[in-house]
Amino acid sequence: MLGSMPCRRSAGTLPPSLPPSRRSRLRRLVAAALGGLLLPALGVAPSSAAAPDRLPPTTAFTPLTAALITTPAPFRGSDGLTHLSYELLLTNALSARVRLDQVDVADPRSGRVLWSLTGRALVAASNPVGMPRPSDADGGDASPRQPDAAPVLASSATWVVWLDLVLKPGTPLPQALVHRLRTAVLAPDGGATPVRESVGRTAVVQHPPVALAPPVQPGTWYASESCCGNTHHRRGLAPINGALYVPQRFAVDWFRLGSRNQAWQGDPRKLTSYLGFRQPVLAAAAGRVVDVQDGLRDNTPPVPPAIPPIQDTVGNHITLEVAPGVYLLYAHLEAGSLEVRRGDRVTPGRMLARIGNSGNSTTPHLHFQVMTTREFFPTDSPPYVFRAFTLLGQVGPRIWDDNLGLQPTGVLPVVPAAPPTRHALELPLDRNVIAF
């Protein structure tokens, strides 16, 4: 039998100041959920026996369980700051509903809180699995809760919290992270009993991301759907082969721009109106071609195509292996433009193919990313950086690939950088306009 002990404020414990009536209410809720086993961890002591020595003092039952999809890996963005972008999956293990009030990401070694989400920021960064929040471009809020209401996890429900940490200048890279949750178990009568828990401890990748040469020719390029906001790449949660992945977390859609920052000119219904169409794509590192696909026709813009079969999602493509477990994907290539075959070895700058509009693509662009496998599904999507580029400006409103050709003009609303700045070993962030 589990015995009693002095109440210690550890993961999954209640504040000792809770009134007896609220403890009693929680006792009934969790007893139904876990057969009474949760009561000692929540500060309800049914007996006076000594605590077993073999359990660490932080051992506790937690209403929410946690899992991570990837190991957080640092990279430096074009803002000059270190970013850690990953996902936290939270599942309600109780029969009662649980409200999520705050998520703190802390360094377990120092105890320092590195990032905190609460209020509107937490609402914007979380959604039930299978019910994503609308993108910035979709408009409205299709969520079943009020925009400012704290997330409430139904019994057995799983939510994803999209974490995009930005470390303050001078903050050392942590070796590990832990997630401290402020939650409340909700009673049917409307009462709420607060619970604190620490979950989801994870190591942090300590090596730097792979550094690459440009994947396209010199010129002005628009980095669409790059990290780290509410983009289709960043929040593309995909169930594949019985597991959840974010296979395009750090992908970038590259659009070529002209001297007036136009992505297309003339008739947007013609492929040749897009400045990126048939632009060469280049090997961004030395490597070996491990996968190719060709023969899929280029879609006619600007109407989104029908969703293709999973094997044709990225269209005509080339995959390079540039290091053990490091693969570069070039997707949506022009049919018949591939100049390499599986097994070929390439050097940096080698022309591989030309930009097209094949696969799940509406207007011509290059989808580029790093993967952990030679297959694009399933895979993990780690960060990477480019050796050098110049930041020219920023597009304010979000303009998705799916409606780029439906804009009244092909000229993007670019706010120029004043002045343009040279960057090294950084990843262009979402909607940057850069020059390679």
pLDDT at 7: 35
How far is the CA of 297 from the CAs of 242, 342, 358, 405, in angstroms? 31, 20, 6, 19
pLDDT in tens, 4-28: 333 334 445 555 455 555 555 555 6
Which segments of the chain have a pLDDT < 50? 1-11, 16, 35-48, 137-146
d(Cα 429, Cα 436) in Å, to the nearest integer?
A: 14
Residue 21, phi then psi, degrees to nearest 5: -65, -35
Summary mean pLDDT of the chain: 88
Strands (E), 234-332: 238-240, 243-245, 252-257, 280-282, 287-293, 317-323, 326-331
d(Cα 152, Cα 97) in Å, to the nearest integer?
A: 7
Query: Do 251 and 367 contact (CB within 8 A), yes or no?
Result: yes
Query: Do 360 and 247 contact (CB within 8 A), yes or no?
Result: no
pLDDT at 148: 61
Which residue in the block uniquely carries the two structure tokens 């097994």? 343
Strand 384-386, strand 345-346: pairing: unpaired
pLDDT at 42: 47
pLDDT at 47: 43
Residues 6 or more apart whose Cβ sits within 8 Å of residue 103 = 88, 116, 117, 118, 122, 161, 163, 179, 180, 181
| Beta bridge partners of residue 414, listed in sequence order | 395
pLDDT at 45: 40
d(Cα 195, Cα 212) in Å, to the nearest integer?
A: 46
pLDDT at 397: 83
pLDDT at 58: 80
Task: Indicate the SS3 state at residue 36.
Answer: coil
**The pair of three-digit structure tokens given for residue 296, joined into one six-digit string:** 């899929």
| Beta bridge partners of residue 257, listed in sequence order | 220
Task: Indicate the SS3 state at residue 327.
Answer: strand
